[in-house]
Amino acid sequence: MKLFFDFLPLILFFGSFKLAESRPGQAAELATAWFGPLAAGAAVDAQAAPVLLATAVVMAATAVQIGVLLARGRRVDAMLWVSLVLVLVLGGATLWFHSETFIKWKPSVLYWIMGASLWVSQVVLRHNLLHALMGGQIDLPASVWQRLNFAWIAFFGLMGLLNVYVAYSYPTAVWVNFKVFGSLGLMLLFLLAQAVYLSRHLKNEEPS
């Protein structure tokens, strides 16, 4: 249930985009009625309407997601706050200018912020953030934690570049599919490779 809740904004983004894409005329009318006044009454065409409507949905869903966590007295992760700021700022720009370019940059910026956080904590602060987050669950040598940290930095950096490449090289519909399925698939493959690597370095517990 928690996994579904965590991915709910992404699921709603994908679902609303596909629904609007399947009904271009209605989507254009709805998007023009909602977002036309933001651009001096400019009409939204059928090609831009799906991503604009999906952007509005994901903005609302992310805000509601955080609101539910706060209402339940749950801790909101720092990256979720960052994600909210990015989706509101870049999503707002997408709606204001009727351009999907801004929201397409959101995953890349988020990836790079996460990678930069790991890099700064390791190189500047001499503090391994991954170890701080996971050290209580996995017992690993310090050198492995360091390599793991830099592996995540490289992964986030490459994912950000890959998102930009797909966003500028393919139609928006392809980018949406990549954002939902491609990114998650690559993340799962990376986690699987990481699990195989870690299995070779886990410290054996002393026999009782």
pLDDT by residue, tens only, the chain of 208 residues: 677 788 999 999 999 999 999 999 999 999 999 998 886 568 888 999 999 999 999 999 999 999 999 999 999 998 999 999 999 999 999 999 999 999 999 999 999 999 999 999 888 877 778 777 765 677 777 788 888 899 999 999 999 999 999 999 999 999 999 999 999 999 999 999 988 888 887 655 444 3
DSSP label at residue 20: H
Q: Are both 24 and 5 inside the same structural domain?
A: yes
Cα-based distances in Å from 163 to 112, 116, 167, 208: 11, 17, 6, 49
Q: Are both 25 and 126 inside the same structural domain?
A: no
Q: Are both 54 and 144 inside the same structural domain?
A: no
**Residue finishing a domain among 97, 112, 145:** 97
**Residue finishing a domain among 46, 72, 97:** 97
Token look-up 């720092």 returns 78
Extract the tokens encoding 206. Answer: 């002393």
Integer Cα distance of 107 and 87 in angstroms: 9
pLDDT for 179? 94
Q: Are both 160 and 90 inside the same structural domain?
A: no
Q: Are both 89 and 140 inside the same structural domain?
A: no
Q: Are both 92 and 108 inside the same structural domain?
A: no
Please name which of 55, 52, 53, 61 lies closest in space to residue 8, comparing C-alpha atoms.
61
Domain count within the chain? 2
pTM, rounded to two decimals: 0.88
Q: Are both 93 and 104 inside the same structural domain?
A: no
Segments forming the whole domain that contains residue 183: 100-208
